[in-house]
Structure formats: structure tokens, C-alpha cells
């Protein structure tokens, strides 16, 4: 539990630093331009290409394992529950 | 002790939530446009077969957007279960039942912020569950970064077949935060955290534990299991996807889990996606999972009522599992058909092996406590058909 809390605290700090940086105080600028994102836009790069299908596999594991949560998706209501 | 831990967790979670909401609002000042998920209709047949358990059924998803602002979706899912698992054949008789799950959701894009709200109802003979989920996500920093927050609340009702008086409740809460970052033009990394709290009747009303009983001919007897009434868990995952020098993607994932019941779990997954000629795409994957047992788990308790809490569910035992999976999908155009634009057919097969470290197979003929450790294999199939419009 302690390691998880430390991880979350570090994650929060990292995101705060990043957001502040992104807003100009550290002059951190996006380093990948829109015209360089062909690879990233390819459907094979998706973490969750077919939500119904991957949600089922998560369900299979969750029913048989003690662990749960953090399976993927960013909380956008993707029907992955 | 547990109640204090849960309260502290809630306070910490609320503070964390407020901090992150502030960050999201701040991030909006420097944000770029997000888009709604694509319109699609999916139908899937799923099947699980392993350890004496067979589960299969359909899943149907329909999603439609309106004016690029609102996207509504509905999912209908069925599990048809016939079970003669090791738990069932040891202490009870085989059974079959059906579970249906219905979900409705709406996603809303306001300016540059993405909101999602969904409701899920799950229903079977002896278990009903209603869950509400809310999520918010935001792209910012030139669309290189995405932050997402989610909260879910669920209320379950537990019943026991053949006992009309038995009714118990479970309340569940789920806090989530996710952060994705484009590292290079070929590498995307995601961090996800989920804190989950459960309160109420958390054990299975049918399952039993076994304890050494010198008066029994077989050397042991059974009594009802008893779990704590609270459980709080944390799971954190990091996953990355990398576009290789040729057109293919490599995915790597690691997750760490721990909870107040003493279970610590780790799993890793490696997946490879490779497009083939003729609009075919192949995925291969390997997953390794390992967990320790719950503090109150024992395969054979020394006597009756040996502890305050008692469990012998194999899900709470120490075990490892290895999974191998392969998928093949075929994409096709539908230019000649009105309304639809494209479609996809996907067939997936996964093979999972479970090896238990302290859950014994009591169907084997051996003295109590010296039976072989249980192991089983399962096959998971998915046949998936999708239309985009």
C-alpha cells in the first residue's frame, strides 16, 4: 500500500510539474508536431481498439484473480466496465 | 482498525481528487480539441471453458454521435454459466445460471473537455448490481498529454437461492486517474491508478472452508466461509505502445496491486500487432500474473472457527497464471452499402493456465492436507463483428 501511495504522490507531482511547465513558466513546448503523428494515429497503436472485446478479457481475469482495477482506459465512459 | 484505514483512504482520495480536478481545470487553459469515439455497432460471441466451468453468450454494443457533441451508447451482455468447478464439486452440486448486464452511457464534448456518464445494471438469480460511473478527460500540451479522472459508485444486493430470508448489501466505490503522454513520434505511455473500496457482505454465500476434524473419516469437515466486511485496494499500471521501424506495434504493460486483505499481485503483458496483406491484422500476446494469498486464507484450518475470518476461495490463494493469445482481424469497406462505411471481423483465442501454490485438489485420494496442488487450463474464445457508420 505504501509503495502505491508513493507512486500516486509521485504521479500527482509529475503531472502538476508537467502542467505548469506546459503553461509556459518553464518554456516546455510540445516536441512532436502534428505532421509527425502518422505513426501515433495508426489504429494499431490503440491501447483499446475494440472496447467490447477487451472488456470481456478483463472480466475473465477479474473473476478468477484477486487483483482488480487499472486495466486500461482513461475514464471516458467507454463501456469497459 | 480497518474502518480507520478506510476513512483515511477516503480522505486521501478526496484530497487527491480535488488536486487533480484543479489540475484538469488548469490544463484546460492550454488545451486542444478532443474527439468523440467513432459510431459503431458491435456484436460478439464469447466463450470460456476451463476447470469444469463453461460460460458463453453474446455482447452487443451500439454507439451513435449527434452533431459531434454528444455520443450515446448501449451495451447488452449475457453470461450463460454451467459450473461444475472444483469449489462446487467439493461441497455442493453443479449448477447453471444466467447473468445479464445492461449498460447505457452518454459522452459529451464541451469545448475541449470530454465527459462520460454511464449506468450499468447486472442481474442474476441471486445477485443484482447497479453502478454509476462518471469520467472526465482532457487533451492538452499540444495534444501530447491526456489526463482522465473517474469515479464510480455501485450498490449490490446478494441473495442465496433456496433461502428467501437471506438478503445482504454491498456498497462499492472506485476512484481512478489516468495520464497518457506522447514521448516520441512512435511511443505513447500511459499511467493508470485505481483505488477501490467495498463495504458490506463480501464473501460468497455458498462457499465453505475446510478444517481438520479427527472425528471425520476423511480427516476434515466444512464450515461457512467468513470475510471481513470492508476491502480497500490499490492498483497502479504503466503501459506503453511503440511503433516499430516497420508497420507494427509492440505493447508492454506492468501492473502492481495490493489490498487490505493482504493480497499482493503483479502482472506483466507483452503484445505484438502486425498488419498482414489483404486487410488482415494479427495480434499475439503473452501475460504473466502472480499473487500472494489473503491473510485469512487457508487450505486446511487446524480446527473449527480457527480465526475471526476464514476463506478457502482459490481466488484468494497464492497462484500464478500464464496466458497466450492470438487474434486475427479482417477489415472491409462498405462503400456500396448505404449508411455503413466499414466493417471488421475478429477472431481471438486465449489459452490460460493456472497453477495454485496452496490450494489443494481435494478430489484426489490422499490424506487431508497432502493432496496435490490444484491446477487447470482454460480456453477463451471471442468472435467479434463490427460495423462503422
The residue extents of the domains of chain A are 2-30+40-64
pLDDT band at B26 (very low <50, low <70, confident <90, very high): very low
CB contact under 8 A, B294 and A42: no
A53 to chain B, any CB pair closer than 8 A? The answer is yes
Name which of B144, B148, B386 is nearest A74 (Cβ-Cβ). Answer: B148
- The nearest alpha carbon in chain A to B287 belongs to A61
Which residues of chain B neighbour A23 with C-beta distances below 8 Å? 26, 29-30
The reported pLDDT for the residue numbered A76 is 30
- Which residue numbers in chain A have pLDDT < 70? 1-26, 73-81
The reported pLDDT for the residue numbered B383 is 97
pLDDT score of B271 more than 50: yes
Interface-testing mutation among B146, B175, B179, with chain A (most A C-beta atoms within 10 A)? B179
Q: Which three cell numbers stand for residue A78?
A: 467507454
Q: What mean pLDDT do residues B86-111 have?
A: 87
Domains plus CATH for chain B? 2-388 (2.40.160)
A25 to chain B, any CB pair closer than 8 A? The answer is no
Which residues of chain A neighbour B179 with C-beta distances below 8 Å? 11, 15
pLDDT band at B63 (very low <50, low <70, confident <90, very high): very high
The reported pLDDT for the residue numbered B85 is 85
- The nearest alpha carbon in chain B to A28 belongs to B141
CB contact under 8 A, A1 and B384: no
CB contact under 8 A, A76 and B23: no
pLDDT score of B279 more than 60: yes
pLDDT score of B188 more than 70: yes
CB contact under 8 A, B234 and A1: yes
pLDDT band at B84 (very low <50, low <70, confident <90, very high): confident
The per-residue pLDDT for range B337-355, each reduced to its tens digit, is 778 889 999 999 999 999 9
- The nearest alpha carbon in chain B to A14 belongs to B179
Which residue would you say has higher pLDDT here, B290 or B67?
B290
Instruction: Using DSSP bridges, classify how beta strands B249-259 and B95-110 pair: parallel, antiparallel or unpaired.
Output: unpaired
CB contact under 8 A, A56 and B59: yes
Q: What mean pLDDT do residues B221-239 have?
A: 97
Which residues of chain A neighbour B196 with C-beta distances below 8 Å? 68-69
CB contact under 8 A, A76 and B148: yes
Between A and B, how many residue pairs show a Cβ–Cβ distance under 8 A?
239
The reported pLDDT for the residue numbered B28 is 38
- The nearest alpha carbon in chain A to B283 belongs to A44
Name which of A66, A72, A81 is nearest B239 (Cβ-Cβ). Answer: A72
Is the separation of the CB atoms in B128 and B118 below 8 Å?
Answer: no
Highest mean pLDDT: which range of A54-63, B131-140, B262-271, B361-370: B262-271
The reported pLDDT for the residue numbered B87 is 79
CB atoms under 10 Å from CB of A6, counted, come to 10
pLDDT score of B233 more than 80: yes
Which has the minimum average pLDDT: B116-125, B138-147, B207-216, B270-279? B138-147
Name which of A12, A64, A79 is nearest B103 (Cβ-Cβ). Answer: A79
CB contact under 8 A, B384 and A34: no
A13 to chain B, any CB pair closer than 8 A? The answer is no
Q: What mean pLDDT do residues B175-182 have?
A: 95
Q: What mean pLDDT do residues B297-303 have?
A: 97
- Cα separation values, B271 from B183, B280, B327, B350, Å: 19, 17, 11, 13
Q: What mean pLDDT do residues B323-344 have?
A: 89
How does the average pLDDT of chain B come out, rounded?
Answer: 90
pLDDT score of B11 more than 90: no
CB contact under 8 A, A74 and B180: yes
Report the gap between the CA of A31 and the closest CA in chain B (Å).
8
Which residues of chain A neighbour B85 with C-beta distances below 8 Å? none
The reported pLDDT for the residue numbered B36 is 85
Is the separation of the CB atoms in A48 and B76 below 8 Å?
Answer: no
Using DSSP's 3-state secondary structure scheme, residue A36 falls into helix
Q: What mean pLDDT do residues B135-141 have?
A: 91
Q: Global pTM? A: 0.86
The span from the CA of B37 to the CA of A78, in Å, is 8
Three-state SS string over chain B comes to: CHHHHHHHHHHHHHHHHHHHHHHHHHHHCCECCCCCCCCEEEEEEEEEEECCEEEEEEEEEEEEEECCCEEEEEEEEEEEEEECCHHHHHHCCCEEEEEEEEEEEEEEEECCEEEEEEEEEEEECCEEEEEEEEEEEEEECCCCEEEEEEEEEEEEEEEECCEEEEEEEEEEEEEEEEEEEEEECCEEEEEEEEEEEEEECCCCCCCEEEEECCCCCCCEEEEECECCCEEEEEEEEEEEEEECCCCCEEEEEEEEEEECCCCEEEEEEEEEEEEECCCEEEEEEEEEEEECCCCCECCCECCCCCCCCEECCHHHCCEEEEEEEEEEEEEEECCCCCCCCEEEEEEEEEEEEEEEEEEECCCCCCCCCCCCEEEEEEEEEEEEEEEEC
Q: What mean pLDDT do residues B272-281 have?
A: 96
CB contact under 8 A, B37 and A7: no
Amino acid at each position: 500500500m505504501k509503495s502505491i501511495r508513493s507512486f500516486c504522490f509521485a504521479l500527482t507531482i509529475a503531472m502538476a510539474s508537467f502542467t505548469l511547465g506546459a503553461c509556459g513558466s518553464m518554456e516546455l513546448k510540445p516536441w512532436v508536431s502534428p505532421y509527425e503523428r502518422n505513426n501515433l494515429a495508426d489504429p494499431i497503436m490503440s491501447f483499446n481498439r475494440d472496447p467490447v472485446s477487451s472488456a470481456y478479457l478483463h472480466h475473465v481475469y477479474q473473476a478468477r484473480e484477486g487483483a482488480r482495477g487499472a486495466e486500461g482506459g482513461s475514464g471516458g465512459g467507454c463501456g469497459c466496465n | 482498525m480497518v474502518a480507520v484505514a478506510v476513512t483515511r483512504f477516503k480522505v486521501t482520495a478526496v484530497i487527491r481528487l480535488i488536486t487533480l480536478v484543479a489540475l484538469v481545470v488548469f490544463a484546460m487553459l492550454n488545451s486542444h480539441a478532443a474527439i468523440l469515439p467513432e459510431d459503431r455497432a458491435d456484436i460478439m460471441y464469447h466463450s470460456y471453458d476451463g476447470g469444469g466451468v463453461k460460460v458463453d453468450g453474446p455482447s452487443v454494443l451500439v454507439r451513435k454521435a449527434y452533431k459531434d457533441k454528444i455520443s450515446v451508447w448501449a451495451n447488452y451482455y449475457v453470461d450463460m454459466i454451467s459450473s461444475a468447478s472444483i469449489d462446487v464439486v467439493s461441497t455442493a452440486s453443479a449448477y447453471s445460471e444466467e447473468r445479464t448486464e445492461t449498460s447505457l452511457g452518454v459522452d459529451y464534448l464541451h469545448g475541449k473537455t470530454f465527459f462520460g456518464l454511464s449506468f450499468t445494471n447486472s442481474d442474476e438469480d441471486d445477485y443484482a448490481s447497479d453502478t454509476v460511473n462518471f469520467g472526465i478527460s482532457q487533451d492538452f500540451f499540444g495534444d501530447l498529454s491526456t489526463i482522465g479522472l473517474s469515479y464510480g459508485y455501485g450498490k449490490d444486493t446478494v441473495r442465496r437461492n433456496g433461502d428467501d430470508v437471506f438478503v445482504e448489501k454491498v456498497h462499492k466505490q472506485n476512484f481512478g486517474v489516468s495520464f497518457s503522454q506522447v514521448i516520441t513520434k512512435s511511443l505513447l505511455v500511459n499511467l493508470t491508478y485505481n483505488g477501490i473500496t467495498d463495504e458490506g457482505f463480501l464473501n460468497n454465500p455458498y462457499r465453505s472452508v475446510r478444517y481438520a476434524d479427527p472425528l471425520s473419516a476423511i480427516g476434515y469437515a466444512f464450515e461457512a466461509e467468513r470475510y471481513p466486511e470492508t476491502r480497500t485496494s490499490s492498483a497502479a499500471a504503466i503501459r506503453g505502445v511503440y511503433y516499430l521501424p516497420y508497420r507494427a506495434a509492440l505493447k508492454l504493460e506492468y501492473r502492481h496491486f495490493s489490498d487490505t486483505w493482504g493480497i499482493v499481485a503483479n502482472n506483466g503483458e507483452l503484445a505484438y500487432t502486425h498488419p498482414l496483406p489483404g486487410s488482415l491484422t494479427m495480434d499475439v500476446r503473452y501475460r504473466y500474473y502472480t499473487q500472494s494469498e489473503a491473510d485469512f486464507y487457508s487450505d486446511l484450518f487446524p480446527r473449527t472457527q480457527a480465526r475471526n475470518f476464514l476463506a478457502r476461495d482459490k481466488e484468494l490463494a497464492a497462484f500464478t497464471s500464464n496466458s497466450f493469445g492470438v487474434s486475427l482481424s479482417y477489415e472491409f469497406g462498405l462503400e456500396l452499402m448505404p449508411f455503413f462505411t466499414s466493417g471488421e471481423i475478429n477472431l481471438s483465442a486465449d489459452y490460460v493456465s493456472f497453477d495454485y501454490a496452496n490450494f489443494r485438489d481435494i478430489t484426489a485420494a490422499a490424506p487431508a492436507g497432502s493432496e496435490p496442488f490444484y491446477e487447470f487450463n482454460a480456453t477463451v474464445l471471442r468472435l467479434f463483428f463490427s460495423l462503422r457508420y
